[in-house]
Amino acid sequence: MGYQKKKWIALVLGILLSGACGPVSQNPEMIAKRASESAAAAAPSTFAAGINKNIAAAALQSSNASSEYRIGPEDLLEITLYNVPESRATETHVTPRTLTVRVSHQGQISLPLVGEVPVNGLTVSGLEKKIREVYDKYIYNPQVGVLVKEFRQRASVIGAVQKPGVFELTGPKSVIELLAMAGGVSEKAGSQVHIYRQQGKERETHVIDLAVLANSAGLINAGNAAMINMPVEPGDMINVPEAGMFFVDGAVHKPGSYPLGRRYSLSQALATAGGVNIELNADDISILRRRAPGDFETIALSLDAVISGSVPDPQIQPDDVIVVPTSTPKYLVKRFIGTLLGGVSIGALTGS
């Protein structure tokens, strides 16, 4: 399409955008007030009080860039085109044109001339790039700005926390901030946080060691900042299992956390999780076991060897994470090692 024709269409676009709504008030930042109150109310010597004290401090210092936020249904976006010509007589006099749009439940927005544009899951910079591409046929070298005016995504916090529930992500949030918004952990909390995330047809699980948060030494440094600021995505479920539980994930029929009310062997723990899904050809099993705050070991076993009795059926301990991967490449175990106030993040478990 010729430059003059692009310029003429841009004028039409400017008229369509000229009736946009004005700005709304900025969203307030969440603070760690609930976690601070919980820590103050608990006895200073308790495990939960030590964790809550550091959750509150870490949440106040946590800083996620807004560029990391993933756009989703019901978000309100302000889209500005900065180089729409004022008139056909000049190429230099341009005026920004702004449009305010709500993301539909299907994750789309409607834009003049181009119609429906899918935006679900895009970052702000990703959406700016996409809009530049769709308008390139109408405007010469389009310059685009996107602002999220209302954040409508949600994540839930369950388990051993003071105030479990569903929380609106009124901006980019970290796991620590969500725990603070839930009032911190309760006295029944164990030493782990599990983050369950659905990525299309795949499920992703992160397990973070909280035991190091009971240590009052040092909060944030360059080594652990990434884990403290692990961003929460819309739809995430953050679970704080009670103490004395074990976790099973992967190729089992009922993955999740289970109470260790009696002595369990590995085979009994797998049976409690509904048994192994043999259709996924699972054999290799890993048990991630915490030896000390921030110190984990991986115990690798063959399920066939355990069943045949050629190797002992190991006893399960509190806070064990049992991973039953499917055959490669259907199931992938990734270990992202990073510090969390002196501890480690012990895995991202991704499977179909």
* Domain boundary pick from 150, 171, 192: 150
Q: What is the CATH number of the domain that holds 285?
A: 3.10.560.10
Does residue 198 share a domain with residue 224?
Answer: yes
Split into its structural domains, the chain has a count of: 2
Q: Specify the pLDDT at position 91.
A: 52
Claim to verify: residue 295 and residue 209 sit in the same structural domain: yes
Domain that holds residue 280: 33-63+155-351
The domain boundary, picked from 150, 172, 199, lies at: 150
Verify that 299 and 328 share a domain, yes or no.
yes
Distance from C-alpha of 270 to C-alpha of 99, rounded to nearest angstrom: 54
Chain segment 254-283, per-residue pLDDT in tens: 988 899 888 899 999 999 999 988 766 567
Q: 104: closest CA among 113, 115, 95? A: 115
100 and 47 part of one domain: no
211-242 tens-digit pLDDT: 766 654 444 444 344 555 678 888 899 999 99
| pLDDT at residue 77, rounded to an integer | 95
Whether residues 346 and 231 share a domain: the answer is: yes
Of the candidates 150, 181, 199, which is a domain's last residue? 150
Total-model pTM: 0.66
Q: Mean of the pLDDT values across residues 299-319?
A: 90
Parallel, antiparallel, or unpaired: how do β-strands 94-102 and 76-85 relate? Answer: antiparallel
Residue of 25 and 50 predicted with greater confidence = 50
Instruction: Provide the token pair at 279.
Output: 């259709």
DSSP run (H or E) holding 299: strand 295-302
Cα(99)–Cα(112) distance, rounded to whole angstroms? 9
CATH number of residue 82's parent domain: 3.30.1950.10
Same domain, 224 and 319: yes
What is the Cα–Cα distance from 141 to 7, expressed in whole angstroms? Answer: 11
What is the predicted pLDDT for the residue at 107? 92
Closest CA relative to residue 223, chosen from 168, 294, 147: 294
